[in-house]
């Protein structure tokens, strides 16, 4: 029997699988893909944190592929009252054909995958946000061409779940990643070390050094979901890390600006940059729909892995 495939982190897919998934997402976006690989199938979506894009794009995407999605707030299901993840995993696997989960601890997502018998998709944890990075990679290809190895990506701000997932993408695809974070807000060390073995990674506390020659300028909120008590300390630590017009001008002439959203204008990015000519944030948000449809089609709908 073929083992159940999951998407808990970017490296769960090989380089070829990532590129094939992005190709499939592009076909879906163009309207050329008309299959219904999820006909009669259900995706359970467990949310322990808020969401606009992830929730709506997965639900709409499942419907467009012929399937159905169930929104399960962890506050409403028994998981929120302490039912073990391994029990939830085995029960849901008897009803549904795939589970998407947004939660805090990456180990909870791994436990769900370990104990369930259907594909599990990571819709964000404190550690990683792989679906978002797939959408970002699709946006890169649309703007900078299909050859992702040649692009230089800059990350400015917190070494958070997004930064860690960019490192994972560099690990798999080999592009140059330039990360600027304050001391004390660095990305995960193990993920950083692994990426350094496969790609050129620049780590600095100077946003201008990270932006020099960058084709992609990427940032995110300074305070992620679950860190609200640290807001004041973080606002102090990230002074100088706002992507404003002056900073943006130090990147490559062809540079695009990305932000996974929601954005805090006047904190990590200015109004002028997020609404400016280089911003691709709305395409980036749209691409969540297309890449996640491609991921579901592959994991739950039998679309072939290479």
Is 15 considered catalytic here? no
Write 276-282 long-range contacts (CB < 8 A, 24+).
Answer: 276/245, 276/248, 278/217, 278/248, 280/139, 280/143, 280/256, 281/257
Judged by beta carbon, residue 93 or residue 106, the one nearer ligand CP is 106
| Residue ranges in 247-266 that form contacts with ligand NVA under rule CB under 6 A | 260
Judged by beta carbon, residue 124 or residue 217, the one nearer ligand NVA is 124
For ligand NVA, the binding residue among 56, 60, 212, 225 (CB under 6 A) is: 225
Q: Does 132 bind ligand CP (CB under 6 A)?
A: yes
Q: Does 261 bind ligand CP (CB under 6 A)?
A: yes
Q: How far is the CB of 262 from ligand NVA (least distance, A)?
A: 7
Judge contact between 68 and 60, C-beta under 8 A.
Answer: no
Q: Does 168 bind ligand NVA (CB under 6 A)?
A: no
Tokens of 251: 């990147």
Binding mask 111-130 for ligand CP (x = CB under 6 A): -------------x------
b or e along 96-132 (b: 16 or more beta carbons within 10 Å of the residue's beta carbon)?
A: bbbbbbbbbebebbbbbbebbebbbbbbbbbbbbbbb
Partner whose binding site includes residue 252, from ligand NVA, ligand CP, none (CB under 5 to 8 Å by kind) = none
Judged by beta carbon, residue 159 or residue 301, the one nearer ligand NVA is 159
Tell me how far apart the alpha carbons of residues 119 and 111 are, in angstroms, rounded to a whole number.
Answer: 12
Of 140, 138, 166, residue with least CA distance to 25: 138
Q: Does 108 bind ligand NVA (CB under 6 A)?
A: no
Tell me how far apart the alpha carbons of residues 157 and 99 are, in angstroms, rounded to a whole number.
Answer: 31
Q: SS3 for 104?
A: coil
Is 288 considered catalytic here? yes
Q: Does 219 bind ligand NVA (CB under 6 A)?
A: no
Is 68 considered catalytic here? no
Q: Does 164 bind ligand NVA (CB under 6 A)?
A: no
Q: Which residues are catalytic?
A: 102, 129, 132, 220, 260, 288
């Amino acid at each position: 029997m073929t083992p159940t495939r999951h998407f808990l982190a970017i490296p769960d897919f090989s380089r070829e699988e990532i590129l094939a998934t992005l190709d499939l997402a592009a076909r879906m976006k163009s309207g050329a893909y008309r299959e219904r690989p999820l006909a009669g199938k259900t995706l359970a979506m467990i949310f322990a944190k808020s969401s606009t894009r992830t929730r709506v794009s997965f639900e709409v995407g499942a419907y467009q592929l012929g399937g159905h999605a169930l929104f399960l707030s962890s506050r409403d299901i028994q998981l929120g009252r302490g039912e073990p993840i391994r029990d939830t995993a085995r029960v849901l696997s008897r009803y549904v054909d795939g589970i998407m989960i947004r939660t805090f601890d990456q180990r909870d997502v791994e436990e769900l995958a370990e104990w369930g018998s259907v594909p599990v998709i990571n819709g964000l944890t404190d550690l990683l946000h792989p679906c978002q990075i797939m959408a970002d990679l699709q946006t890169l290809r649309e703007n900078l061409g299909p050859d992702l190895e040649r692009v230089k990506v800059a990350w400015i701000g917190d070494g958070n779940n997004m930064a860690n997932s960019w490192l994972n993408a560099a690990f798999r695809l080999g592009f140059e990643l330039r990360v600027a974070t304050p001391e004390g807000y660095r990305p995960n060390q193990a993920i950083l070390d692994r990426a350094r073995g496969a790609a050129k990674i620049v780590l600095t506390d100077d946003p201008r050094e990270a932006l020099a020659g960058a084709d992609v300028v990427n940032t995110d909120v300074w305070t992620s979901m679950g860190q609200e008590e640290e807001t004041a300390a973080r606002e102090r630590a990230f002074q100088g890390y706002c992507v404003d017009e002056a900073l943006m001008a130090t990147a490559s002439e062809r540079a695009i600006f990305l932000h996974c959203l929601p954005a805090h204008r006047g904190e990590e990015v200015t109004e002028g940059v997020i609404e400016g000519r280089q911003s691709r944030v709305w395409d980036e948000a749209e691409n969540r729909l297309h890449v996640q449809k491609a991921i579901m089609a592959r994991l739950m709908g039998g679309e072939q892995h290479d």
